[in-house]
Structure 1
């Protein structure tokens, strides 16, 4: 914490020094006059382009375009000047202008390549459909338009987050087709579903950004759900699901002073204050600073439970010269709270001939009871540091260096409830500390050039990823209790847990792994409409083993002390192929892709052969559209994912595993954002997924995996905001999420059904240039619903919001 505040203080103290030193060194010996140069930088479609470097060569001054694409130079002497515009990934632009005392010279420029986008994230304003912002620099690691990209992805922009008054990651992911009810882990960590697989928010600004704790949304510019196995471009450490990955894009500094303060208050003592302050810290506006943060306290609708957190998220960018830029982005969060309910029902008592079928809605488990006390708390601390250095080597090549480090610490009590019979459960409490540290170092070279007359957009990179985990905790099992007829005074307290600590089981261990990768991805424009993509990653995975602090041995126990036992290495290749054809140039494209993902598996089979990496391959095709001046943007796709090399129990010896398991996940996804008439916006999605374990243990053969979520899901949000008149800015919103039934357990002898759900949200707001007020109701009808961990969802929740802008 001290280091964080030292960084902030240093930024504020060094800002004036930077400004002063540059003003001394860069001013020519001329008589000041009132001559002025202003201009605007736009894309080929007329959209403003922000954060581009603009220099005045004769006096060696530089600035950046703002989010409206504007720039200016003041107090210039009469004469002829040369303006140089630098955009990463594009050729230099030199413009000769003449300055006359007392006049303003206009020097506008429109870029000739429509898909140019700086490798340092910028905000491009002016889209007719304000809830549809598809263009991204992270999806393909190249400046590639959505219509040119053969991969499907969904974005949730800050405009939609603001309109829905979404203050947590789970509320944001409700806008992603197929996400289902978010799963809240015991430390506040959120996961969701994608294409039949549980998926975590492991990526931040395109690289490793794991957080084994709650993630505050105060600094989010948008969320990107990248669909399908994506290990080729992101590696399996970040893309840890065959369903895809969730990338959190953070807010970046811009070259103007501004900000916002928000207050939210609502049901169950919900109180939240968030802030966003941005300022240039030198006269030329090339050094910029932004600070986001929030603090939230809330109780739950249940009889016990609360969370109390704070986040501080500073970011600093510096256009060092017209070729070199630096971005530093920090994310700090700390939370104290109690675990959400996690119930694992009793699954015994059934046979293949007569399976036992239970339903969480009818088994008598209380909807609003935790069985725990508020003194069983955990404390988490999360620190993510992201540094990016961009250097424009030439008109055709750019270097991008990224260093990312993510740390999460957990201390205290984590709770769960395990069913013992159809009417009893056993509380479990895990006490102690856990640490997760991930380091990602990445070097990319990004080119845009022609070979034999064909345009190539190429990224070549090397990646190092280190993961370190440290566990020092104890699991305590409490006596069984009847959950249907529980005494009113029953509570599991810290005192009860401490009294049984000598009977608990210990986990004291450390583990670590390293991954070294090289990769490339090339998009070749065979014609103006037809583009093909070829990508390949080669990885070397080195697992250093699990070191047991109690026994002093590494997993496997070989040798004195076991120091050298347990580790293993695996080499893997991951491919990605794709093609896009723009049927209607810049408006409609058809695409197809083949993508691969993998997970490293340790151990040996009964015959002594080492296991290989598990792998998943996706085949997908579909249609993307962006028509009617961005008023209708959508994607329809069909995918088929086949997973192989899954470990399963050896049928000849239960002490071993064999690696011949398979799974199939296929389905259809539809995404739509529309602006049918001025002020009215639609965001909608539908997902159908069919997942089957095609070869596995007999208990699950031919069934849908229990952790696949609902087979059918629908999401929508309609909103209308008055575009003109005395009530301009007044708006209403209405939306909903629906999912079919799913399973917590699904075997041939036992099933635990989670019923389908339909939940509606509604809001009213009044948005003005200097302030905003809003009121929202989540789960309007108090629908009873459960996540896959059987965590009951909150009934109708009321939230009010007041925002002040400056």
Structure 2
């Protein structure tokens, strides 16, 4: 892997050399001066300011003004009647966020540490609901997981990361009601700043990265970009590495009325189970032998391994028939293959002796995903009323090949581990082929009237089906078909001083997997949200507040008349308050603050949990982060930042018999920019707090959160 790291960096520098040489070989002294100035940070910032922000462009600084995630049109965030957060590359870099979930940890409404420190998957809840299987999107198209066939996105490959809270089915079809995370891929643009980077950190972390591109043809009609990363790293868990190779080429052709962008990526991950499954005694509660060490590895070195190969190729086509009629077609093929085996803890065998029971899992799964989204945007007037009408047809086709088996492993002393114990024979858990398809027709009208008002109305009809071939039953076939209509409405009022209150209603639907011979209707979600957004007129910033009432219905629960069967009479309610603010009040200073209050309750249930709080949902979360960079003097370009994150206590199971304690974590960083170079040192969980992120509904499955992580980064830009 180290050789690969060096080769990758050399490859990136080969791109840098000709560009840098051209910058230095101007015909006269003026050109030389301009080339030198272009390497300075102020010149780069001025150049970026000349470009108007779009829903896929870089965010200038830390305050985004445009987003297309909620509406699929490039709409000002302040005029969008939904709660949304946007994290741009400047913020990702300032905090040295290693994952998409790291980037979102200072946003309200999301719990990004649902399985603790995990290098395999992105586990997250939005407004109290689990979203990891259906809530991850790339460039506005879903990457749906099934079983262990799960996609994961590279944060360095993101131009922006957007969190949309609440039901999203009118624009996207099937999804859980909490919301979605949309990763917008880095794509070519004329004035991009190239960079190469090297990074070192604790746990023997080594990483090289590059992001280069620009004009492939002098007139700018063809642009290219190549983003890549190689990571060779250990983790806070003994014997678990976190290695990755990522490369994402893209190409854009544009004329006066048409543009075509080709997007692709390849990702190869090699890691393992870093989060462990640990009992409450020894993590939350004191154990007779003290706390279980954070770095303990509960697996078996000769059996452990997680390898994922992930690829995608697609395009974004846009054509303006007239100034008021635009057709867009976005399409993608994605593939993921996961080969996974692990041993994990299943509770104490003897708490006094410190021995943990263990089981094993073996899984080999892959998924093929084809997605296409056709949109026609028409802008027209009816008298004094302006319309932006979006109509669309989208289609998704997933094919999963899934195999999983389980077994037993010898006990392990977590305080004095000795490996090499016996691994038992495996028993097939499931072995099937699953095909999922969804076809949706949708329409949305954004209606501007009376100068200050915008009314958004939308509706969608979906048809979905699932076919399963069970290889454990000689290829026995089962199928189910669902259909659903979803609606949404939103109203905003734009004041002259930047305050925009809004009211919205939205719906969701999400098919429920069959259980044995039982087929179920889709779960549904309904949300009412009232909020306000404010853009200060004297400085750059965005402040928002939202109050919401969200209900998830058709939840599967036990049939009160037959305990062997299930019925869909369950319901969960989530309601609360979210506050978020990002401001840049003076040059060099940025500050972010967020607070979430979530009151979740199981309102209908036949399993004895009615009136309880769902597990893993914190009632209160809060964060504060600020960064300041000196603008003048001998230390011009030197900056520092710090942040604090609070995660309130949460119940560890649905029966509410125990709680996971609250946690407060501190982050900090320093950075210095000089003549195109950036030097940065960042630390997360600065005090190395030992904390439990959640317990996944059981007193034997608690996960430690991320310990102190220190990263030193050097970047060169031109």
Query: What is the TM-score when the length of structure 1 is the normalising length?
Result: 0.77
CA deviations over 1:76-114 (Å, ceiling 9, x no partner)? xxxxxxxxxxxxxxxxxxxxxxxxxxxxxxxxxxxxxxx
1:517 pairs, out of 430, 435, 440, with 440
* Residue matched to 1:730: 638
Residue of structure 1 equivalent to 2:5: none
Aligned to 1:19: none
Alignment-derived partner of residue 401 in structure 1: 329
- Measure, in 2, the Cα distance between the counterparts of 1:754 and 1:225: 26
Distance 2:511 2:438 in 1: 11
Distance apart, 1:583 and its partner CA:
2.6
Partner of 2:207: 272
Residue in structure 2 matched with residue 251 of structure 1 by the alignment? 186
CA distance in 1, matches of 2:515, 2:190: 57
In 1, distance between residues paired with 2:76 and 2:154? Answer: 29
Give the whole-Å Cα distance in 1 for the aligned partners of 2:54 and 2:101.
Answer: 30
Residue matched to 2:33: none
Q: 591, 610, 616: which one pairs with 2:525?
A: 616
Q: Distance in 2 between matches of 1:531 and 1:217?
A: 34
Distance 1:271 1:726, change over 3 A: same
CA distance in 1, matches of 2:239, 2:558: 40
Asked if 2 retains the 8 angstrom alpha-carbon contact of 1:225 and 1:244, the reply is yes
Residue 294 of structure 2 corresponds to residue 360 of structure 1 = no
8 Å contact 2:151–2:336 — kept in the other structure?
A: yes
Partner secondary structure for residue 473 of structure 1: strand
- Aligned residue number for residue 318 of structure 1: 253
2:360 is the counterpart of 1:438:
no
Aligned partners of 2:143 and 2:151 also within 8 Å? no
* CA displacement at 1:68 relative to structure 2: 5.0
SS in structure 1 of the partner of residue 315 of structure 2: strand
The answer on 1:755 being equivalent to 2:661 is yes
1:331 is displaced (CA, Å) by 1.9
Corresponding residue of 2:129: 197
- What is aligned with 1:770? 676
Aligned to 2:4: none
Q: Residues 180-239 of structure 1: CA distance to partner in whole angstroms, max 9, x if unpaired? A: 342358661112221111223511111124572443222111110001011111111xxx
1:738-789 CA-to-partner distances (Å, cap 9, x unmatched) read: 11111332316x43x2211000011110023511001112111111112225
Q: What are the Cα deviations for residues 338-378 of structure 1, in whole angstroms up to 9, with x where unaligned?
A: 212332648xxxxxxxxxx9972435544321222444111
Relative distance call for 1:223 and 1:630 in structure 2 (3 A) is farther
Counterpart mapping for 1:178-217 below 5 A: 178-184=109-115, 188-200=120-132, 202-210=136-144, 212-217=150-155
Aligned length: 657
Distance 2:642 2:129 in 1: 28
Residue 599 of structure 1 corresponds to 510
Q: 2:339 aligns with which of 411, 414, 421?
A: 411
CA shift, 1:688, in A, is 0.6
Gapped runs of 5+ residues in structure 1?
A: 1-8, 13-47, 51-64, 71-115, 347-356, 555-562
The separation in 2 between residues aligned to 1:604 and 1:343, in whole angstroms, is: 26
Contact 2:584 2:590 (8 Å CA) reproduced? yes
Which one has the largest radius of gyration? 1
Native 8 Å contact 2:356 2:413 kept in 1: yes
Counterpart mapping for 1:216-235 below 5 A: 216-235=154-173
Query: SS at the partner of 2:78?
Result: helix
Which residue does 1:553 correspond to in 2?
475
Q: Are positions 1:805 and 2:717 aligned together?
A: yes
In 2, Cα distance between the equivalents of 1:146 and 1:368? 42
Pair 186,670 (structure 1): closer, same or farther in 2 beyond 3 Å: closer
Q: 1:297: Cα distance to partner?
A: 1.6
* Alignment match, 2:687: 781
- 1:98-497 correspondence runs (5 A): 121-123=56-58, 125=60, 130-184=61-115, 188-200=120-132, 202-210=136-144, 212-236=150-174, 240-256=175-191, 258-319=193-254, 321-343=255-277, 345=279, 360-363=284-287, 364-375=291-302, 376-419=304-347, 423=351, 425-481=356-412, 483=414, 488-491=416-419, 496-497=422-423
Is the contact between residue 188 and residue 213 of structure 1 (CA under 8 Å) also seen in structure 2? no
Judged with a 3 Å threshold, the aligned counterparts in structure 2 of structure 1 residues 604 and 381 are, in CA distance, closer, same or farther, namely closer
Q: Is the CA contact 2:313–2:332 (under 8 Å) kept in the aligned structure 1?
A: yes
Distance 1:794 1:223, change over 3 A: same
2 CA distance for matches of 1:725 and 1:456?
Answer: 51
C-alpha spacing 1:388/1:793, structure 2 compared with 1 (3 Å): same
Note the C-alpha offset of 1:682: 0.4
Structure 2 gaps of 5+ residues are 1-10, 15-42, 697-701
Q: Does 1:568 align with 2:454?
A: no
Aligned counterparts of 2:188 and 2:109: Cα–Cα separation in 1: 33
Q: Secondary structure at the match of 1:163?
A: helix
Structure 2 length-normalised TM: 0.86
Aligned to 1:74: none
Deviation at 1:605, TM superposition (A): 12
Aligned mates of 1:187, 1:256 — CA distance in 2 = 34
Q: Give the superposition deviation at 1:634.
A: 0.7
Once the two structures are superposed, residues 54-80 of structure 1 have per-residue CA deviations (whole angstroms, 9 ceiling, x without a partner) of xxxxxxxxxxx985548xxxxxxxxxx
Output the CA distance in 1 between the equivalents of 2:672 and 2:282: 47
The root-mean-square deviation of aligned C-alpha atoms, in Å, is 2.7
